[in-house]
Amino acid sequence: MTQLLSKDSWQYREINRRAPSLPTLSNALIALAEAGHPVMAGTADLQYSNGLSGFAQRYPERFVQFGISEQNMVSAAAGMATTGVIPYVATFASFLALLCCEQIRMDVAYCRQPVRLIGHHTGISLGFYGTSHHATEDIAIMRSIANLAVVSTADGPALDAALRATVDYPLPIYFRIHRGHDPVVYENGVAFELGKAIVHGLGKDITIIAAGYPVHGARRAMEELNAAGHSVGLIDMHSIKPLDEEAIIEASARSKVILTVEEHTILGGLGGAVAEVLAEKGRGARLVRHGIRDEYSLIAPPTHLYRHYRLDGDGIRAVALESLA
């Protein structure tokens, strides 16, 4: 059981002032527990960064604070799953996907245990924390592991829908989520189906395929380009594995260019997954992969990094126009 901060403490007030939307994960798990699902939650000393402090307060007997022991947390979660519970364990994505890769592969995925791996603060969202905390390789690593699904949600409502829709999924899932300050894409909620993309339209000129945080900027870019007379579509490929191949094939048949956008290296991530489908089954569209090149990301405030790597709305719009040219 964890020791929680008092609501009167300055630490509690500061955490909740800075992260008003963090309870999404916690609230979804509370709702699942109240519905009778045998969920448990665990974290590696980050219950305030990922919002699981709320779940811990509501269900202290279902919450485990593992401390700074990420690999042990993953192995313990695999053991918990063998007893019939559904463990949701969360830590920074850079630690979960890279540091715990061996435990995820052998203890969780190889043994087909229904563990939910929550990698938060993905991509370059930790800014000044630097390379050790930037998760720009996790999609490539996780989608290469057999039996492991990979989900990258665009905002809080999408995460809530994904957690609820997959509670009974019999195999493990890696959830790639941002930092809790995500701009809302789905104001009125969204239906989630594993393996089925959300298609916001297909463009004759270009269709953008994005996942996670960049979906918001991609939607803005799509709207501005369409208003300027171009024909641009958008696919939210939240389910990176299993991948919605039909949506990709249909887009390649209707668009001149497919532009993938991801807060991740362009090697092996969403762009790589789409490239594999197009190479085998594509209908002629040209593919442009946009993300972080083969390099380590810079250290700066997240907003500066998104602008530098052209992962905000203005940057995505500029890349789309360059792709068309």
Active site residues: 70
Contacts of 14 (CB under 8 A, 6+ apart): none
**Cβ contacts of residue 163 below 8 Å, gap of 6+?**
25, 28, 29, 32, 88, 116, 175
Structural tokens at position 321: 């126009």
d(CA 189, CA 181): 17
User: 132, exposed or middle or buried, with CB in 10 Å at 0-12, 13-18, 19+?
Assistant: exposed
- What is the distance in angstroms between the CA of the first residue and the CA of the last residue of the chain? 58
Sort residue 63 into left (φ over 0), alpha (ψ -120 to 50) or beta: beta
Convert 283-317 to b/e letters by CB count within 10 Å (16 or more is b): eebebbbbbbeeeebebeebeebbeebbbbbebbb
**In contact, 262 and 212? CB cutoff 8 Å:** yes
Burial of 112 (0-12, 13-18, 19+ CB in 10 A): middle
